[in-house]
Structure 1
């Protein structure tokens, strides 16, 4: 899992130059060596349950909630070996920014674990510390999501929680899978399929660039994104699992991204790095 922490302030657009190379370095050796598996499907018909409206309105409901703690995971598998990237943190939905402490798995060779990566998130920008060879200690790297072939939906090892909710705005074929208990909270479980193209056209301005980049950049083998969404009694999205068909060197790889939200209203306070602390050079794997 990859969890997200909180962040504050207003993000600025990233530098040009080596952003594409940097993005590839973020997940080099992880996505490149994995292919995922995921499941989708529907149970009972949605009917009068209102599931389609509840799922499509997830982003607006989160903004109204203000903030939350978050846990996310990104899973891939290859040759019987499952790779999971984990993290935790929080997100300020009104400021549209958050922070995660991301833990990468051990290398298949058994080499020591990587240092945790700090990620500062927004629908348009990603800042990372402790990721990439050649980056001076204490420096941050910055990526503009709109420059990436996948809109940074999977490249950074986690899907921005608010962007994930915006993607649900295109939900179709929604079915009600039943009522479940999620960490002591009763939630309604819905299944369906989102569409990247429709989501990009209908998303709020803050998320439109990243979603449009995912369509324009052809980083995915399919625009269809099967999902499972869990909504509480107040209409808040508590958990979402989305399955992307990511293209790795032209080959489709299923990447399952899960976000769990809890502790709504939690104080979120994270400072963006100063311009002097941002590394603009080339990042090596």
Structure 2
């Protein structure tokens, strides 16, 4: 009986030791991949960010939310947008909601924006444009390359800006909308981004490099474990010709639901307004 109890006790000890080993492995081994990713992210943040736009192309498409904040006339205003984007074709659709006037009596209908390489199409633009017509803007002719003008930064242009990253640091792990992400902070050079961008973004970014008040753009970006951008915030500074001063703009893009179907059809020539647009 004593011998049997000793055997049972020895088996229990062995089982406990094995269980403890599994627990240790579960606690330590499961985090080893994340730790390796963290180490790699800390070693070469610039290289990782240079490749983040290509990771979006690999993802195919996503939904997007945008937010643009700026101070104008002593008042801080926020322009919000929501839509979808196809990174392979570099086309997207956003509904952008402008803020109400200060009295709150001017109900603003959302502006529908279609984003395409080198072009921005807007519907419900107002300013004398018929409701059933689109306005087409050549983004390379805009001093900001349409990073700000449309009230939302093109999601792929926001990613292409990171190709110009010159300095970046790995901040640490956090979460965005329930997804584990790695947070990076740095600055991007607009001219370098234009040089290394895809052909569809190159002319617009080149225009921004010439038109912004500063050649560098500070940013915070959050990548998931597949290297895809989940959130990016750029802080732009451009010269406002009307106010003859520099305006600071914070543009945030949130990407989610990767692989979502995207159907964007650009308007025919007959549907584009060719008349004069009131300011």
- TM-score after normalising by structure 2: 0.82
Partner of 1:75: 69
Q: Could you tell me how far apart the structure 2 residues matched to 1:270 and 1:194 are?
A: 30
Matched, 1:221 2:213: yes
Partner of 1:192: 186
Matched, 1:163 2:157: yes
- 1:92-131 map, 5 Å: 92-131=86-125
- TM-score after normalising by structure 1: 0.80
Are 2:41 and 2:48, in contact at CA under 8 Å, matched by a contact in 1? no
- 1:1-285 map, 5 Å: 48-78=42-72, 81-216=75-210, 218=211, 220-249=212-241, 250-285=244-279
Q: CA RMSD in A?
A: 1.8
> What secondary structure is seen at the aligned counterpart in 2 of 1:154?
coil
Q: Could you tell me how far apart the structure 2 residues matched to 1:60 and 1:90 are?
A: 18
1:53-91 C-alpha deviation (Å, 9 max, x unpaired): 221111111111100000011101246632000010010
Q: Could you tell me how far apart the structure 1 residues matched to 2:116 and 2:166 are?
A: 26
Higher relative contact order (CA 8 A, sep 6+): 1
Q: Could you tell me how far apart the structure 2 residues matched to 1:49 and 1:69 are?
A: 31
Are 1:195 and 1:225, in contact at CA under 8 Å, matched by a contact in 2? yes
- Give the count of matched residue pairs: 240
Q: Could you tell me how far apart the structure 1 residues matched to 2:149 and 2:79 are?
A: 12
Alpha-carbon offset, residue 246 of structure 1: 1.4
Alpha-carbon offset, residue 181 of structure 1: 1.1
> What secondary structure is seen at the aligned counterpart in 2 of 1:141?
strand
Q: Could you tell me how far apart the structure 2 residues matched to 1:49 and 1:187 are?
A: 17
Q: Could you tell me how far apart the structure 1 residues matched to 2:153 and 2:267 are?
A: 21
Long gaps (5+) in structure 1: 1-43
Alpha-carbon offset, residue 107 of structure 1: 1.1
Q: Could you tell me how far apart the structure 2 residues matched to 1:224 and 1:133 are?
A: 33
Q: Could you tell me how far apart the structure 2 residues matched to 1:113 and 1:54 are?
A: 43
Long gaps (5+) in structure 2: 1-37
